[in-house]
Copies of this chain bind each other. A is one copy, B any other.
Amino acid sequence: MSRALALADRVLAGEVRAAARLMRALDDELPGAREALARLHGHSGKALLLGITGNPGAGKSTLTDQLIRHYRAEDKRVAVVAIDPSSPFSGGAILGDRIRMQAHAGDPGVFIRSLATRGVLGGLTASTRDVITVFDAMGFDVVIVETVGVGQDEVDVANTVHTSVVVTVPGLGDGVQAIKAGLLEIADIFVVNKADHPDAKRAERHLHMLLDLEGRERRGWAVPIVPTVAPRGEGVAALADHIAAHGAFLRDAEEGRRRARARHRAALLDRIYAMLRHEAGEVIARSGGLDPLLDALERREVEPYGAAVRILEAMGLRADLD
């Protein structure tokens, strides 16, 4: 048996250090890492995949922490993939939060993995999906993907998980702008955190109105709005109930199959694109880097599309785009 497959078997046996090693090997595109992941793939598909997105400052980390406690109390094992670079998990942020998260440091039922994906075009989903597959195959019951919820990321996360929880808070900016059109589309569950804030009821009413405007019930699921006060754990049990209800809905409804297919399609396209970028990188490296072409561009001897076509031709592709 190859060393890669041996590593995969140690991951399947639940060895945390083996899992961390495999994740690093996947990041570094080491030989054998994908072979190991392929073996894990056959053992994945059982975990609940949960996305937590929302504005910076909405309290996502505290809520994630409380959800961990909730699921741990039910003896479920919880893994966290933290993508937001400002998250305490991934190290970009506040000391107090980071210390708080260390509450779980000694708990073998909790595994936190932070992903530094800044500046990696399309890098988010490929590596996120690999890490999720590893956690899933290891037998974690819940995998929480936490990310900053504005921009492209939260759409990617929604395409990656079963249930997408969008966290918002009262009094963010103008209120209306704080809930972007896109977040309405991707939320399976809304959380209004800091529900003890004077403006909380107004924020809830506003959300209800926005959801009603766009047709509250989407393909058989009425998006609930859950008030929470994350630091005190208020509303967390109700949130977990709604998450469980959404899971049951997906298992029973056609919508569940539709979303699984969409998830697999997005994952496959991401992998294809990642491999194409890798191939392009190899060809560029072999031909002495991009600098000669950039020089030609700056001298206006070639225009950008012509320059790109040259690389595709060097890859052996005929780029007949027009």
Question: Cβ of B271 and Cβ of A305 under 8 Å apart?
Answer: yes
Q: A55-B56, A264-B297, A268-B294 are in contact. Are A273 and B279 (CB under 8 A)?
A: no
Q: Which residues of B contact A156 (CB under 8 A)?
A: 121
Partner of A119, one of B155, B264, B275: B155
Q: For the complex, what is the distance from the CA of A273 to the CA of B284, rounded to whole Å?
A: 13
Question: Cβ of A294 and Cβ of B265 under 8 Å apart?
Answer: yes
Question: Cβ of A181 and Cβ of B273 under 8 Å apart?
Answer: no
Partner of A303, one of B38, B305, B312, B317: B38
Question: Cβ of B173 and Cβ of A55 under 8 Å apart?
Answer: yes
Q: Which residues of B contact A106 (CB under 8 A)?
A: none
Among the stretches A12-20, A29-37, A65-73, the one at the interface with B is: A29-37
In the complex, the count of this chain's copies comes to 2
Question: Cβ of B267 and Cβ of A304 under 8 Å apart?
Answer: yes
Question: Cβ of B321 and Cβ of A278 under 8 Å apart?
Answer: yes
Q: Which residues of B contact A306 (CB under 8 A)?
A: 38
Between-chain CB contacts (< 8 Å), 20 pairs: A38-B303, A38-B305, A38-B306, A55-B55, A57-B177, A92-B182, A94-B174, A119-B155, A121-B125, A121-B156, A151-B151, A169-B173, A171-B171, A172-B173, A261-B294, A268-B293, A268-B307, A272-B280, A272-B312, A273-B277
Q: For the complex, what is the distance from the CA of A176 to the CA of B273, rounded to whole Å?
A: 36
**Nearest CB of B to A118, in Å:** 6
| A180 close to B (CB within 8 Å) | yes
Question: Cβ of B41 and Cβ of A86 under 8 Å apart?
Answer: no
Question: Cβ of A56 and Cβ of B272 under 8 Å apart?
Answer: no
| A298 close to B (CB within 8 Å) | yes
| A165 close to B (CB within 8 Å) | no
Question: Cβ of B57 and Cβ of A174 under 8 Å apart?
Answer: yes
| A6 close to B (CB within 8 Å) | no
Question: Cβ of B119 and Cβ of A122 under 8 Å apart?
Answer: no
| A153 close to B (CB within 8 Å) | yes
Interface residues of A in 31-62 (CB under 8 A from B): 31-35, 37-38, 41-42, 55-58
| A148 close to B (CB within 8 Å) | yes
Interface residues of A in 86-124 (CB under 8 A from B): 86, 92-94, 118-119, 121-122, 124
Q: Which residues of B contact A148 (CB under 8 A)?
A: 150-151, 180
**Nearest CB of B to A115, in Å:** 13
| A258 close to B (CB within 8 Å) | no
Encoded as 1 (CB less than 8 Å from any B CB) or 0, chain A from 264 to 296 comes to 110111111101111110000000001001100
Partner of A300, one of B37, B42, B317: B42
Q: Which residues of B contact A297 (CB under 8 A)?
A: 264, 268
Q: Which residues of B contact A311 (CB under 8 A)?
A: 272
Q: Which residues of B contact A304 (CB under 8 A)?
A: 38, 41, 129, 267-268, 271
Q: Which residues of B contact A152 (CB under 8 A)?
A: 118-119, 121, 124, 151-153
Q: For the complex, what is the distance from the CA of A85 to the CA of B103, rounded to whole Å?
A: 38
**Nearest CB of B to A195, in Å:** 15
